[in-house]
Chains A and B, each alone.
Chain A
Amino acid sequence: VSGNRPILLVEDNPMDVDLTLRAFQRRNLANPVLVARDGEEALGWIERWERGEPTPAVILLDINMQKMNGLEVLRRFKEHPVFRRIPVVMLTTSAVGQDVEMAYQLGANSYIVKPVDFTKFVDVAVQLQLYWGVLNTSPGESDP
């Protein structure tokens, strides 16, 4: 498992964090998942990456967060001369409104509507793996 680049999950709803981690678990996702529980915590990672800690393969960023909106967090990530290359996938509850459009303008690489149905939520985890390709599954544990 060592050498697997982590995933950074930025999500302020504790149950959504728990369910996302479990969805990844169900798909035997072997990449370590780092969790930032609000926008400021997420931006705190920039400093640690600058100090040489491994950068994530992908950032999963919730748009609708209380303390600092996901779009603001995205803007700050995409302002960084180096780390703006880390792909960012926005997580939203609905694709309604200008949020998604705004996210793309700010440089988001993709977005995912968080499904209410947990089975679909697990499917999303699979899609993430397939699409970004950079993620890894534990050897021998993948689904039949």
Chain B
Amino acid sequence: MARPDAKRTRELLEQSTRSLNEAQRLAKLGSWELDLSTSALAWSDEIFRIFEIDPERFGASYEAFLDAIHPEDREMVNTAYTTSVEARQPYAIVHRLLMTDGRIKFVQEHCETSYDPVTGRPVRSTGTVQDITALKQAEAAIQQLNVELEQRVRERTVRLEAARKELEAFAYSVSHDLKAPLRAIDGYSRLLMDDYADRLDPEGRGFLDNVCAATARMNQLIDDLLAYSRLEHRTPQAEPLNPRALVEALLAERADEVRTGGVAVTVAIPFNSVPADRDGLALALRNLLDNALKFSRLAPHPAIEVGGRDAGTSRLLWVRDNGIGFDMKFSDRVFDMFQRLHRAEDYPGTGIGLAIVRKAMERMGGRVWAESEPGRGTIVYLEFPR
């Protein structure tokens, strides 16, 4: 009766040992045990594999263990163990192994020691050694990638900043170098007009008028392009601004035009603040008011309404006119650069105004859109998210 039982027990034990070894191999985690009374050290198969030591030729020994450790880490490992035994505290440590062919492995060790309950002397140390080289290599690769990524971001930022500076310098020289000759063209045309008018016939004087009008248009074009490029290269500062005060100030600047045009202006904004960038908001409202004045000029009873509405997650401002309006199929295009829907002779402009409005709104995180009907008028909405 005892024999089959013993056989069965041995079988179970062998099976258990096999699966432990298998588990250790898969996890690359070996275990060891040191009997401190006899100094006998036992390694599991996986430890031999991690240390790349042939179990047939060398047995387990503390010296063999120390030998496998990277020379620079030996003292640290030794200290960790002796300190742990003295302090009666388990320890965990990560260190390197130096293989005979120069390869380096990283291992993580855990160890604890048991003590004689009577004498208090250390009896036995048990520990695990796990090969974490693959993990360490992956970590190093990630770190390397991060370093490279940061480097690339730095390089791009420098290049972008240089491009921005270059564009700023370009805009500045455009403003200076294009305006100086314009000043001369306008100046001498007017001098010619003033001092030589009697020697020019009406056609000649008409030519000079055209020169001056074209100069004024070119001047406005340069100013608008500059305003647009400045918007692009300035970081908008969001602050609560009173739109009513701003609209009133802009209307005051246009008081003459409003009066002579007989324009009925109403301002009804039911709130005292919108979160916006000061320059951006001023630029947007200025362009919308100028457009409303311009396009309602020929209406029988020109009227402009500036309104506002709280829309929950955002606040809306609008400028409405009862001017010539436009076909809604152009409602997106009107915000593009150099899009003009009307003849320059009838409605002078550079075709940049609404592009400036859109850019200003986008830079503030807002939106702009228009609703219009030919002959009935236009309403342009500005949306400011809260």
* A residues with CB within 8 A of B: 13, 15-16, 19, 22, 64, 93-94, 96-97, 114-119, 121
Contacts and interface: CB of A to CB of B under 8 A. Distances in A.
Interface string B148-192: 000000000000000000001001100110011011101111110
Given A19-B184, A116-B219, A117-B216, A93 B190 contact: no
A118 B176 contact: no
Most buried by B among A16, A22, A117, A121: A117
A64 B176 contact: yes
Given A22-B191, A94-B175, A117-B186, A13 B180 contact: yes
Given A13-B180, A93-B180, A96-B175, A118 B216 contact: no
Contacts of A121: 183, 187
B128 interface: no
A15 B172 contact: no
Contact of B190 (A64, A97, A114, A118): A118
A121 B184 CA distance: 11
Nearest to A95: B175
Contact of B180 (A16, A117, A119): A16
Nearest to A20: B187
Contacts of A114: 179, 183
B193 to A, nearest CB: 9
B301 interface: no
B215 interface: yes
Contacts of A13: 180
B contacts with A: majority SS: helix
B99 interface: no
13 contacts: A15-B180, A16-B183, A22-B187, A94-B179, A94-B226, A96-B171, A96-B230, A116-B186, A116-B215, A116-B216, A117-B216, A118-B189, A121-B187
A7 to B, nearest CB: 19
Interface residues of B, number: 21
B99 to A, nearest CB: 63
Given A96-B175, A96-B226, A118 B182 contact: no
Contacts of B191: 22, 118
Given A15-B183, A19-B183, 15 more contacts: A13-B180, A15-B188, A16-B183, A19-B184, A19-B188, A93-B175, A93-B179, A94-B175, A94-B179, A116-B183, A116-B186, A116-B215, A116-B219, A118-B183, A118-B190
A117 B180 CA distance: 11
A97 B176 CA distance: 12
